[in-house]
Amino acid sequence: KAGVTQTPRYLIKTRGQQVTLSCSPISGHRSVSWYQQTPGQGLQFLFEYFSETQRNKGNFPGRFSGRQFSNSRSEMNVSTLELGDSALYLCASSYGHKEHTEAFFGQGTRLTVV
Amino acid sequence: KQEVTQIPAALSVPEGENLVLNCSFTDSAIYNLQWFRQDPGKGLTSLLLIQSSQREQTSGRLNASLDKSSGRSTLYIAASQPGDSATYLCAVGETSGSRLTFGEGTQLTVNP
C-alpha cells in the first residue's frame, strides 16, 4: 500500500511569488491535513480537508489556501510569498472518522523563499 | 487553547538503556494522542496511537500510556538502539482527531 506522497520535495521561490504544493493521500483515506514546520514555531496546523470540504482551519493568514479533489488528492497554495514562509510543509492523511483517525505523514515539501 | 509540552527537550543515553519520554497537555478533552518519530529533514513516522478511551498501547519495544485526567502521556522505549536516535513528537488530536497539536519534541541520541 503506497504511503502519502508529496510533490515536489524541494522548492525555491522568490518573495512575492506564489506556490502550489501537492499531496496524494493513502488510498481510501478521505482526510488530508496540512502542517507547517519551522525551527522557531514547531509543527503548526494549517487546515484539514475531508470529502472536498474544509473541515478545520488553523490560525494562518488568508494567503494560505487549499483544496481537495474528488480523488482525495489535495493542494495547498501560498500567495505573495514572504521570507517567513520558508518551512517544511507536511501533509497527513487519515480515514478521518470515528476510531480510524491515525494520521500518516508524507516526507514533506521543503520550501525556501529567497 | 490546547498546549502540549514534552520533557526533556534532549536526551542522550548509552545503547541498551530503557528510557521514558514525557508529554503533557493542558486540555483533557482530547480525541486521541499519537506518538511520532522524525528523522532529520524527513517526514513523521507514526509510532503509536492511543484513543481517548484507552490507557496504553504497545508495539515491539515501545509502550505508550495515557492518563487523560492528569493530562499526561509517556513513551517507554526498552533496550534502546542507535537506530532509535531521532526526534520524538507527541501530538494530541481534537475534533475527531483530524487536527493535531504537537509538542516541541524530544531529541533522542542513543550512543553505541
- Whole-angstrom distance, CA of residue B80 vs CA of residue B72: 22
Residue A60 touches partner B, C-beta closer than 8 Å:
no
Residue B42 touches partner A, C-beta closer than 8 Å:
yes
Residue A15 to chain B, least CA–CA distance (Å): 23
What is the tens place of the pLDDT at every residue in B60-71?
999 999 999 999
What is the tens place of the pLDDT at every residue in B7-25?
999 999 999 999 999 999 9
Residue B53 touches partner A, C-beta closer than 8 Å:
no
- A101 confidence band (pLDDT: 50, 70, 90): confident
What is the pLDDT, as a whole number, of residue B97? 57
Residue B96 pLDDT more than 70? no
The rounded mean pLDDT for chain B is 94
Are A31 and B51 an interchain contact pair (Cβ–Cβ within 8 Å)?
no
Residue B15 to chain A, least CA–CA distance (Å): 28
Residue B107 touches partner A, C-beta closer than 8 Å:
no
Cβ(A101)–Cβ(A109) under 8 Å?
A: no
Could you say which DSSP state residue A25 is in?
Answer: P
> What is the identity of the amino acid at B66?
L
Could you say which DSSP state residue A71 is in?
Answer: T
What is the pLDDT, as a whole number, of residue B95? 66
What is the tens place of the pLDDT at every residue in A56-87?
899 999 999 999 999 999 999 999 999 999 99
- Exposure on the CB side of residue B6, measured as CA atoms within 13 A: 24
Residue A97 pLDDT more than 80? no
Residues of B within 8 A of A7 (CB-CB) are: none
What is the pLDDT, as a whole number, of residue B77? 98
And the C-alpha cell for B45? 513516522
From the number of C-beta atoms within 10 Å of its C-beta (0-12, 13-18, 19+), residue A61 rates as exposed
- A38 confidence band (pLDDT: 50, 70, 90): very high
Q: What is the largest CA-CA distance in chain B?
A: 42
Residue B47 to chain A, least CA–CA distance (Å): 10
Say how many C-beta atoms besides its own lie within 10 A of residue A2's C-beta. Answer: 8
